[in-house]
Amino acid sequence: MRNLILSRHGNTFGPGDRVFWVGAKNDLPLVEAGIAQAQNLADALVASGITLDAIYCAPLQRTRQYAEIVKRSAHSKAPLIVEERLNELDYGQWSGLNDEEIGKRFGTKDLENWNDSGIWPAQGGWGKSENDVIEETGSFAKELLDAYGKDASVLAVTSNGRLRMFLKLFPDIFADYSRRKMLKVATGKVCLFVEKDAGNLTLAAWNAEPMQVLALTTGLPTGN
């Protein structure tokens, strides 16, 4: 697989909205700015000349809507596949709260550890276990490598928490980004993995503007 493009969905809050933690059980639609971010990704795909072989998205409407806009605006003929293993994390009792409320109810240490270092919190009743989420994310990535040839490009639209699980598949990189507090992927940004060696992905970009990153893909190495 030449390119695995992971995109975080667009904004689900508008100006003046109360911003809170949105997990697997919070099914919010995109707002106007989020729709524009999907269009931006579509424009970047067209400008870079990337032809997608498949588009995957989580079942939540913010990811489905984002993927649908990208597919339509990029005039892509790629199949759109809804994939549970791309779903956002279940933030349990943190869902619906803002950072201040989480800090007051559960303490600031767990919040800081997750935001800065991706450390799974001890409190809050998050759904599933960290190991289960990493395992299902890894199985999805492996299936993509097995299913698509060395020249294929695949887009997967997901959420910020799930994206961290992809990075955890690369412990050394995760540790470095954690140390530098660079784990967060902003709405509308992309992460790019390429298959440098057969069956092995490597990170080419993280939390990047689509137009800046996808324009460089023609110069990235392909698989053997």
Beta carbons within 8 Å of 190's beta carbon, 6+ residues apart: 5, 6, 7, 8, 41, 205, 208, 209, 210, 213, 214
56 to each of 52, 81, 161, how far by Cα in Å?
A: 11, 5, 17
Handedness of CA 143, 75, 80, 132 (dihedral sign): positive
- Burial pattern 113-149, b for ≥16 Cβ within 10 A else e, equals ebeeebebbeebebeeeeeebbebbeebbeebbeebe
Write the burial class of residue 55 (CB in 10 Å: 0-12 exposed, 13-18 middle, 19+ buried): buried
Question: What does the DSSP 8-state code read for residue 72?
Answer: H
75 a catalytic residue? no
Q: Of the listed 9, 130, 143, 209, which one is catalytic?
A: 9
Among residues 83, 88, 136, 195, the one annotated as catalytic is 88
Q: Is 120 helix (H, G, I), strand (E, B) or coil?
A: coil
The catalytic residue positions are 9, 88
